[in-house]
Amino acid sequence: MQHLISRLKALAAESAATTVGWRQHLHAHPELSFEEFSTAAFVTEQLRQMGLNPQPLAKTGVVALIEGRNPGSRVVALRGDMDALPIQEQNEVAYKSTNPGVMHACGHDVHTSSLLGVAYILTQLRDEFEGTVKLIFQPGEEKLPGGASLMIKEGVLENPKPASVLGQHVFPMLPAGQIGIRAGRYMASTDELYLTVRGKGGHGAMPEQNLDPVLVAAHIIVAAQQIVSRRANPKLPSVLSFGKVIANGATNVIPNEVYMEGTFRTLNEEWRQEAHQHLRKLCEGLAESMGATCELEIRHGYPYLENEPQLTARVRAAAEEYLGAENVIELDQWMAAEDFAYFSQAADACFYRLGTRAADGRFASSVHTPTFDVDPKALEVGPGLMAWLTLRELAAFTTTDTDAATAETAHA
């Protein structure tokens, strides 16, 4: 087993400069969700140079297969997302975004280049493992309805059907060389809330002649929190937040309406639907009781993300083999959302976090900020680790190690 790990690490080190180059190219040429045409073309070309036959899916998605010996024995899918964010980059680096107002601020350039690195490593070993690796380069993670949902609808989890799906995501709270992982429910569902409260505007000095929608909206914001504090099971995480309130009046003008936007997140699909009903009833009923009206639109977002426990246990064990147990960190539940959740709802899946902060504290900016960047070391660790996790999950490959080591690997 150690021989195989050493070989994978050598391949990852050998290709690290190329992987970093891929990442810097992608970082310099970011594209927004569902507009990843040049990115998909770049990925397709790199895969073809490796001798693979990539195919388009969901317009700007790409899928390719790496077939080992006995390719029908087992299939493992690996996912990397490709889209960028509408953020103006502030990093002064040679690979700074050349697309004004668009930036890879969530590390999807790392995910894409890392998956290309995995492809390179595994194509070098395709005669030494059994099964098939399905590479999924996904568009539109950052925008509803989520590229994962579209690719699944178009058959990405069929022909061949994977036994498991693995995904990784950058994590600046951990140093490069470490990963974070959690079994079971990990990330939240996310729904977008759009409310319009309508009343009757007028002069602020004559409130008796008006029906103040600002006051009604304020009551709704406060009262809605009881859905979380008094309706939700206290053992079940739920978040209800309003981040946008527009009451376009003035110091002495009560507006006719107030517009609000918010989000609701939780980790249970049944409670999610129940909470929607409570929220709708509360908003409409409270507005009516105060003489106003309220229109609530709930846009269903991603489901909650669940890491299948047995698969996650295998991934954890394999990661400890590759990185050392001290470098595999237990994560807390997180109320952010990820459309990898669609894969976790459709198949056994495991989504883990890849450390990207430098040991000296550099590259610590959070994702979704204009100064986000990663330690290049992560571009060596990420591909090598994912390649190892894939081989362990395929559960059968030829080695020059002893028969005992091979048997241990096959039954991990």
Number of domains the chain contains: 2
Last residue of a domain, one of 300, 335, 358: 300
Pair 50, 162 in one domain: yes
User: Nearest 5°: phi and psi at 72?
Assistant: -85, 0
Pair 253, 401 in one domain: no
How far is it, in rounded angstroms, from Cα 40 to Cα 48? Answer: 12
* Partners of residue 166 on adjacent β-strands: 78, 350
The answer to whether the beta carbons of residues 205 and 256 sit under 8 Å apart is no
What is the per-residue pLDDT for 2? Answer: 87
Pair 70, 111 in one domain: yes
184, exposed or middle or buried, with CB in 10 Å at 0-12, 13-18, 19+?
A: exposed
The answer to whether the beta carbons of residues 80 and 115 sit under 8 Å apart is yes
Pair 78, 180 in one domain: yes
Q: Counting every residue, how long is the chain?
A: 412
Torsion of CA 368, 369, 371, 376, to 10 degrees: -20
* Partners of residue 169 on adjacent β-strands: 353
CATH of the domain at 215: 3.30.70.360
229's tokens = 């504090």
Helix (H, G, I), strand (E, B) or coil at 141: coil
DSSP label at 325? G
Pair 221, 117 in one domain: no
Of the residues 31, 36, 81, 83, which is catalytic? 83
Pair 172, 212 in one domain: no
CATH of the domain at 378: 3.40.630.10
Last residue of a domain, one of 300, 327, 361: 300
- Domain of residue 332 covers 2-188+303-410
Pair 265, 308 in one domain: no
What is the per-residue pLDDT for 306? Answer: 97
Pair 114, 31 in one domain: yes
What is the per-residue pLDDT for 396? Answer: 38
Q: Which amino acid type is present at position 105?
A: A
The residues, ordered by sequence, that sit 6+ positions from 6 with a Cβ below 8 Å of its Cβ are none
Residue 83 catalytic? Answer: yes
Last residue of a domain, one of 279, 300, 321: 300
Pair 71, 183 in one domain: yes
What is the per-residue pLDDT for 3? Answer: 87
DSSP label at 60? T
What is the per-residue pLDDT for 397? Answer: 38
Q: How far is CA 15 from CA 181, 341, 378, in A?
A: 26, 30, 13
Of the residues 141, 212, 373, 380, which is catalytic? 141
Chain centre to alpha carbon of residue 32: 15
pLDDT, one tens digit per residue, over 170-179 is 999 999 999 9
Residue-level pLDDT, tens digit, the chain, 412 residues: 888 899 999 999 999 999 999 999 999 999 999 999 999 999 999 999 999 999 999 999 999 999 999 998 999 999 999 999 999 999 999 999 999 999 999 999 999 999 999 999 999 999 999 999 999 999 999 999 999 999 999 999 999 999 999 999 999 999 999 999 999 999 999 999 999 999 999 999 999 999 999 999 999 999 999 999 999 999 999 999 999 999 999 999 999 999 999 999 999 999 999 999 999 999 999 999 999 999 999 999 999 999 999 999 999 999 999 999 999 999 999 999 999 999 999 999 999 999 999 999 999 999 999 999 999 999 999 999 999 999 999 973 333 333 334 334 443 4
